[in-house]
Amino acid sequence: MLDYLLTEEQIMVRDLARKVAREKALPKRAEWDETGEFPWEALKAFSDADLCGLYIPEELGGFGQSVFNFCLATEEISRVCGGVGVTFAASALGSTPILLFGTDEQKKKYMPPIAKGTKLAAFGLTEANAGSDAAGIETVAKKDGDYFIINGTKQWITNGGEAETYTVIAMTDKSKGPRGATAFIVEKGTPGFTFGKKENKMGIRCSATRELVFQDCKVHKSQVLGREGMGFIVAMKTLDLTRPGIGAQAVGIAQGALDEAIKYARERVQFGKPISSLQAIQHMLADMATSVEAARALVYATARMIDAGHKDYTLPASEAKLFASDTAMKVTIDAIQVLGGYGYMKEYPVEKMARDAKITQIYEGTNQIQRNQIGLALIKESAQKK
């Protein structure tokens, strides 16, 4: 493995996340995958281990605002279970808007319990008719004195129903187009705010994916994040910052599948010898390992760049998400191939890993959208040089 010259503290974070995930999520992952039970048990263990506030400053109860540490933990957790990994990471997605755009008051009110892990957060942008084209959202927030009245439905919101704190993007002025959207913090339990049914999914099955339903839901103007009209800026800046986290999920899932493939190849005997002695298998493992390491290097380098204070990281963040998630998909499918028919069976974890991997190519911007964004950035960069 490449030596990423981790500091003592980073090694501590990585090893602790690995230990907690192995002790608390590994024994349950197959059951949770089958039943779709929400992994509160694992989340409680991450909370007890102080792993929930890695991306949050100390003064807000976190461990010091490090995207890198957050990626290390997300990777280790996802290596064991992609469903638990996204549940852990989606709380960061839901609370990053508050960290980036919240007032001191909003931060002090909402961040400490999220940092401690006693409350989860969620991020509500997508709707039935607005996926990749987020500007097409139809949820409205109509001003009414000191309040806004929200109406509409958000779809496929991770941690929906389980989280206490929601960041929701709604149109406050349709006539202004994308400049007419506003981000709100909405608390669970606010009258007029309910949840749709839990979706039955292909993978990450223990994570909760639900509709957020707003019917004349009244929120005070103090719940606005940033300023009115900044909704899409809040959303885009948030996604830029959390995309390396999706990369880390993907690297973790891929590494988990690679671990299983290597272990199995050494044990499985055909034609009188372990299949690991076959060049065909070795080459497959070599390609898997090389792409996992390349993906990890890209994710880590991006996270380090962000932590070092660079402002313009949209491009590497997209590249990291794109490459790591495509890698996860390929590596998990190849892991099934290494395990042959056993890999196709639920007794072995690799088929689940492949089902879990797929989502990383879809959410937080599909990989087609990432390519669009990378392509545009390249052309812009080139044009600026002339």
Catalytic residues: 364
Please give the residues from 351 up to 380 whose contact with ligand FAD meets the rule CB under 6 A.
359, 362-366, 368-369, 372
Please say whether the beta carbons of 99 and 171 come within 8 A.
no
Residue 45's binding partner among another protein, ligand FAD, none (Cβ under 5 to 8 angstroms by kind) is another protein
Q: Residue 17 and residue 23: Cα distance in Å, rounded?
A: 10
Of residues 103 and 132, the one with the C-beta less far from ligand FAD: 132
123 binds ligand FAD (CB under 6 A): yes
Q: Which stretch binds another protein (CB under 8 A): 8-16, 131-139, 198-206, 265-273?
A: 8-16
Q: Which stretch binds ligand FAD (CB under 6 A): 1-9, 12-20, 151-159, 305-313?
A: 151-159
Q: Spell out the alpha helix ranges (H) of the chain.
A: 8-20, 29-35, 40-48, 67-80, 82-101, 104-116, 231-267, 279-307, 314-344, 350-359, 367-385
Chain residue whose CB lies nearest ligand FAD: 131
Please say whether the beta carbons of 91 and 159 come within 8 A.
yes
Out of 25, 42, 43, 45, which residue is the one contacting another protein (CB under 8 A)? 45
Residue 50's binding partner among another protein, ligand FAD, none (Cβ under 5 to 8 angstroms by kind) is another protein
Nearest to 236 by CA among 140, 108, 100: 100
Of residues 23 and 31, the one with the C-beta less far from another protein: 23
State the nearest-atom distance from the C-beta of 181 to ligand FAD, in Å: 13
49 binds another protein (CB under 8 A): yes
Question: CA-CA distances (angstroms) from residue 141 to 60, 221, 285, 370?
Answer: 29, 11, 52, 29
Please give the residues from 180 up to 239 whose contact with ligand FAD meets the rule CB under 6 A.
201, 209
Residue 8's binding partner among ligand FAD, another protein, none (Cβ under 5 to 8 angstroms by kind) is another protein
125 binds ligand FAD (CB under 6 A): yes
State the nearest-atom distance from the C-beta of 2 to ligand FAD, in Å: 31
Please give the span between the terminal C-alpha atoms of the chain, in angstroms, as a whole number.
41
Nearest to 221 by CA among 176, 172, 175: 172
Residues in contact with another protein, shown as a per-residue x/- string from 58 to 97 under the rule CB under 8 A? -----x----------------------------------
Provide the b/e sequence for 283-319 (b: ≥16 CB within 10 Å).
Answer: ebbeebbebbbebbebbbbbbbbbbeeeeebbbbbbb
Out of 4, 6, 10, 16, which residue is the one contacting another protein (CB under 8 A)? 16
What letter does residue 127 receive in the DSSP assignment? B
- The secondary element (H helix, E strand) that includes residue 187 is strand 181-187
282 binds ligand FAD (CB under 6 A): no
Inter-axis angle of helices 350-359 and 314-344, nearest 10: 150
19 binds another protein (CB under 8 A): yes
Q: Residue 161 and residue 255: Cα distance in Å, rounded?
A: 30
Residues 6+ apart with CB under 8 A from 57: 64, 65
Number of residues that bind another protein (CB under 8 A): 14
- Could you list the residues that contact another protein (CB under 8 A)? 8-9, 12-13, 16, 19-20, 23, 45, 48-51, 63
- Could you list the residues that contact ligand FAD (CB under 6 A)? 90, 122-126, 131-132, 156-158, 201, 209, 359, 362-366, 368-369, 372
